[in-house]
Amino acid sequence: MIRSETLAGRIARFGGLGICLLFTVFPLYWILVTSFKAPGTIFAYPLKYWPGDFSLENYRGLFSQSNFAVFLVNSLIVSTVAAALSTVISLLSAYVLARFEFVSKGAVMGAFLVTQMIPGFIALGSLYILMTKLYLVDSRWGLVLVYVAVSIPLCTVMLRGFFENVPASLEEAAMVDGCSRLSALFRVLVPVMTPGLAASYIFNFVNCWNELFLSVTLLNSDNNKTIPAALNGFISSYNIDWGSMSAAAVLSIVPTMVLFAFASRYIVEGLTAGAVKE
C-alpha cells in the first residue's frame, strides 16, 4: 500500500465515489421509474421518485401502438448475424496478423486503424449510393454487411491482442498431428480463446445494436427498421409520448447492459491493451 490514509481522507474518498455512483446510476433509474409509472402520473406534480402503483401500461401501449415488436426482432437479427460474421472474419485476419510477418502487414494494420479515427458516417452519402447500386437499400441484410465492415477493424485488433496470449506451439503441435491450419485454428485455438471471442462478439453486438446513422440512412420501411432507426422517428414527432418512449428506451438499454456486464472485464482489457504497438 502506498501510504496510510487518514480517517478524513477515507471519508472524502468514499463520499466522492458514492456521489459519482449516484450521478452515474440516476439517469438509468429515472427512465426505469418513468417507464413503470401509470401513464397519467408521468406528468403529475409533485414528481414522484418512486412509481407508487407499479404499472406496465407504458409497455403495453408501446407494443400495441407501434411496431416495436418488429423493430426489436429486426435489431436482434441484424446485431446477432453481423456480430457473428464479423467475429469469424476478424478471427481469421487477427490470426494472420498476430502470427506472421509479411511485407504488407503494416499497411493492413494501418488501414484498419485509420478507419477507427474517421467516423463511419462521414461518407454516408456515397455509401447510400453504393448500396442503391447493389440493391441493398432498405434491406436488413444490406445493413448487416455494412455493420460487418464497420466492426472488422477494431475486432481484429482486439482479437490479435488475445492471440498473443496463446503460444504458437499449440497449433503447431496440432498441425504436426495432421490438422490443417483452419481446423487447428478452430479446434485448438478457438476453445482456448473462448473468453476473448465472447467479449469480441458482445462488443460487436452492442455496437451494432446501438448504431444510429447508418440504420437511419439505409432503412426506411417500418418492416425493416431497427430500434434506433425507429426511435429516431419517435423523437422527430412534435409531441413525444414519454410514456412509451421511456419503455422503448428501457427495452433497448437493458439487453446491452446485461451483455456488457458479462464481458466488461475482457473488453476493458482488450481495449486498453488492444491496439498493440508495432
Partner 1 sequence: MAVLQTERPVRRPPARTSHRRQFTGRTALVLLAFMLPAIVFVALFTYYPLLNGIQMAFRNYNLNDLSDTSWVGLKNFRTLLHDDMFRGTVKNSVVWVVGSLVPQFLIGFTMALWLRRKFRFRGTYQALVFFPWAVSGFLIGILFRWMFNGEFGVVNDLLMKAHLIDTPVPWLADAKYAMVAVIVANVWYGVTFFAIMILAALQSVPDELYEAAAIDGAGKVRTLFGITIPSIRTTLALTVLLRVIWIFNSPELIFGMTGGGPANATHTVTSYMIQVTQEGDYGRASAMGVMVVFVLILFAIFYLLAIRPRTPRTTARKVAG
Binding to partner 1 in span 86-115, by CB under 8 A: 89-90, 92-93, 95-96, 98-102, 108, 111-113, 115
- Please identify, among the stretches 57-65, 66-74, 186-194, 226-234, the one whose residues bind partner 1 according to the rule CB under 8 A: 226-234
The number of residues making up the chain comes to 278
Residue 204 cell numbers, joined: 460487436
Please identify which residue in the block is written with the cell numbers 447510400.
128
- What residues numbered 49-88 form the site for partner 1, per CB under 8 A? none
Q: Which is nearer to partner 1, 47 or 173 (CB)?
A: 47
Residue 71 cell numbers, joined: 423493430
Q: Which is nearer to partner 1, 73 or 261 (CB)?
A: 261
Residue 38 near partner 1 by CB under 8 A: no
d(CA 271, CA 278): 16
Buried b (16+ CB within 10 A) or exposed e, 196-233: bbebbbbbbbbbbbbbeebbbbbbeeeebbbbbbbbee
Q: Which is nearer to partner 1, 196 or 274 (CB)?
A: 274
Residue 257 near partner 1 by CB under 8 A: yes
CB-CB contact of 37 with 55 (8 Å): yes
Q: Residues 55, 67, 80, 256: which binds partner 1 (CB under 8 A)?
A: 256
**CB burial of residue 171 (10 Å; 0-12, 13-18, 19+):** buried
> Considering the complex, what minimum distance in angstroms separates the CB of residue 98 from partner 1?
7
Residue 243 near partner 1 by CB under 8 A: no
Q: Residues 84, 149, 179, 198: which binds partner 1 (CB under 8 A)?
A: 149
- Please identify, among the stretches 23-31, 54-62, 70-78, 188-196, the one whose residues bind partner 1 according to the rule CB under 8 A: 23-31
Q: Which is nearer to partner 1, 38 or 271 (CB)?
A: 271
**CA–CA distances in Å: residue 115 to residues 88, 91, 112, 149, 218:** 19, 18, 6, 10, 20
Residue 163 near partner 1 by CB under 8 A: yes
Which of 243, 255, 258, 260 has its CA nearest to residue 31?
A: 243
Tell me the per-residue interface mask from 108 to 147 with partner 1, x by CB under 8 A, - otherwise: x--xxx-xxxxxxxxxxxxx-xx--------------xx-
Q: Which is nearer to partner 1, 70 or 149 (CB)?
A: 149
**By three-state DSSP, how is residue 253 classified?**
helix
> Considering the complex, what minimum distance in angstroms separates the CB of residue 213 from partner 1?
6
Residue 11 near partner 1 by CB under 8 A: no
